[in-house]
Structure 1
C-alpha cells in the first residue's frame, strides 16, 4: 500500500474509534511520526493531505524543516528527548514540543523562542507507568511544572503527553491511562488553553481514544519500518 493509502486507513481507524467510544467526530488529530524517513516520504504524505509531522531527533528535524520550508502549512512537532545544548534549534523551528519534563528545558525554550514567532505550544510529558527508564514527570509532580510553564513567556501550555509501558489487553491499556485522563480533564476545566492529550500509537490506538486522546502519534503504519538507524 502507498503512504496515501496508509494515511487513509489510519484515519478511518481513528474515525471508527471515535464513533465506538462516542467521541466527537474529528476530535482526534493524526500526527505522522516521520523520524528516519526521507523527505520524499514526507512529501508524499503531504500530498495526501497530512500536515502534522513529528520528529524525534533535533538535527533531522531542523534539516527537514529547512528542506520543506516551501510547505508553510506543515505543523512541526518535536516528540523526542531534549538535550539542553540543542534546545535553541527546537525553539527556533518547531511549532510544538511534546516532551517537557524539566524546569531547565522549559526555561531555555522560553528564553530561546524568537520573538517574531508565535508562542511555542508545549506539552508536559508524564511518566504514567513509573518506569525508571522512561522520561517524564510523575503525576504527583505535575502541578508545579504546570505553574512554571504558565509563568514563562513565549510558551503556551496545551496539555499532556505520555508513552505508557506496553499492556496485554485493551482494558489494561485503558486502566493505565485513567489517572492521566483525570489529570488532563482537571487541567482542562481550569484553563481554556488546555486542549491536547497526546497519547496513543499503533499498538494502543483504541485504548487511547477511549481515554480522551486528542492526538495520536503513528509512524510505522503510515511509513513502514524504519529505513535506517539515526544518530543525532
Structure 2
C-alpha cells in the first residue's frame, strides 16, 4: 500500500465512522477507530501515525513486540492487544500494552495484575464475550460474565473498561446488530453492578459491520482491511 492509498483509506474510514455516528444520532467523536495492524509492517504504522492515528491493535505478541521496538520513538502511540492471550505471555503483555481487549479468564487477569509494572498506570482491560455461542471462538459466556467482572474489578492494577466481542459474520445489517445489542445490554447490567468502575467501552465492529456496531453503541471500532488493505497470506 502506498502512502497515498493509506492516506485515502484512513480518511475514508474516518468519514465512514462519522457517517455511522450521525446516522445513529450520536455526537461526533463518540466512537474511535482502532487500527488493526497485525501482519502489517512497522513502516505502515508509522505512516498512519503521521496521518494522526494513535491507537493500534495487534493480535500476535511477538510480532507486536518487534514493532514496538522499531517504533519506540513514537511516545504517544497507544498499543492495544486484541488477540488470544496465553498465560506464558502475560508478563510481556502486562508491561508493553495500554489495553488488553481479550481477557476472558480470571487466571489471566490475576497474572496481568501481578505483572503490571508499578511505574505504569493500571492496565485497561475489556472482557471478551462469546456473544454468538460459537465453540471455536474465545470469550466468556454471557451467563459467566458477572462472576468474571467481579473478580477483575477487585484487582488494583487493572481497570475494567468494558466489553469486547467478535460475533459470527453476517451479511444482513439486522443480523449483524443482534449480537452487538446483546453486548451493549450486558455492559448496561455491569454498570449497575459496578458503579465504581469506568465501564465506558464497547470494543465491537470491524470493517464489514462497522455501521451495525455503531448503531448499538460501539465506542472502539477495530478496522484492519478498511485502513491497511487485505492481509497477505502465505503462499
Residue in 2 that maps onto 1:45? 48
Residue in 2 that maps onto 1:203? 208
Distance (whole Å) between structure 2 residues aligned to residue 19 and residue 137 of structure 1: 32
Residue in 1 that maps onto 2:224? 219
TM-score, normalised via structure 2 length: 0.94
1:173 aligns with 2:176: yes
Distance (whole Å) between structure 2 residues aligned to residue 178 and residue 38 of structure 1: 34
- 5 Å-filtered alignment, 1:18-57, equals 18-57=21-60
Match for 1:9 among 8, 12, 15?
A: 12
1:122 aligns with 2:121: no
Q: In structure 2, the residue corresponding to 1:208 is in which secondary structure?
A: helix
Q: Is the 8 A contact 1:127 1:164 kept in 2?
A: yes
Match for 2:108 among 92, 105, 110?
A: 105
Q: Is the 8 A contact 1:36 1:228 kept in 2?
A: no
Note the residue ranges of structure 2 that are not aligned, 5 or more in a row: none
Distance (whole Å) between structure 2 residues aligned to residue 20 and residue 52 of structure 1: 24
Which deviates more, 126-135 or 186-195?
Answer: 186-195
Q: How big is the shift at 1:228?
A: 4.9
Q: How big is the shift at 1:151?
A: 0.9
Which deviates more, 86-95 or 190-199?
Answer: 190-199
Distance (whole Å) between structure 1 residues aligned to residue 124 and residue 230 of structure 2: 29
Change over 3 Å in CA distance of 1:88–1:99 after alignment to 2: same
- Output the aligned Cα RMSD: 1.2
Q: In structure 2, the residue corresponding to 1:99 is in which secondary structure?
A: strand
Moved over 2 A (4+): 185-192
Q: Is the 8 A contact 2:128 2:138 kept in 1?
A: yes
1:130-186 Cα offsets, whole Å, 9 max, x none, are 000000011111111111011112100000000000113001111222221111123
Q: How big is the shift at 1:118?
A: 0.6
Match for 2:77 among 74, 90, 113?
A: 74
1:149 aligns with 2:121: no
Residue in 2 that maps onto 1:95? 98
Distance (whole Å) between structure 2 residues aligned to residue 191 and residue 174 of structure 1: 29
Distance (whole Å) between structure 1 residues aligned to residue 90 and residue 126 of structure 2: 15
Q: In structure 1, the residue corresponding to 2:64 is in which secondary structure?
A: helix
Distance (whole Å) between structure 1 residues aligned to residue 66 and residue 151 of structure 2: 31
